[in-house]
Amino acid sequence: MKHDIIKQEENIIQEVKRYSKRFIEKMGGFYPFAIGMNDKNEIFSIGAYEGNEFPKSQDLINLLEKSINTEISNRHIILAAICIDIFLYQTVERVKFKKNAIEIRFMSASGNKIEHLIYEISVNNSVEFIEL
């Protein structure tokens, strides 16, 4: 489902495409990652570490959410996005199709929302994003 995208979100989406394309093409997927934006519209990666070298994805997501909420409350970040490699399922005429997608969980002081980027991997391992 496509929501109204503001300019800052579109800038982050472009950065998410760049990061995730590289991860998927080189490693076949990725751990959840986060990107933030400050009040000067500068985009940067957001890290989180709690002592575990290889945390479960949900544990990492929870840690990123907690860290981002703190940074938003402290006004160090105006917008952030947690990015997760997922599958979306679509049913057409009772046939279920599985599609590769990136879930982007936008977080800001004004609220949260979710966007999805559908992608395909070609035979030469190149990632192409599909516009809905």
Domains of the chain, residue spans: 7-86+102-116
Rounded to whole angstroms, the Cα distance separating 117 from 132 reads 9
Instruction: Name 40's Cβ contacts closer than 8 Å, sequence gap at least 6.
Output: none
Whether pLDDT at 2 is above 80: no
Q: What is the mean pLDDT of residues 112-123?
A: 95
pLDDT of residue 121: 94
Indicate if the alpha-carbon torsion angle 59, 5, 78, 34 is positive or negative: positive
pTM over 0.85: yes
Question: For 129, what's the count of Cα atoms within 13 Å in the CB-facing half-sphere?
Answer: 15
Instruction: Name 58's Cβ contacts closer than 8 Å, sequence gap at least 6.
Output: none
Structure tokens at 78: 């105006």
Which three-class secondary structure state does DSSP give residue 10?
helix
Q: What is the mean pLDDT of residues 108-116?
A: 95
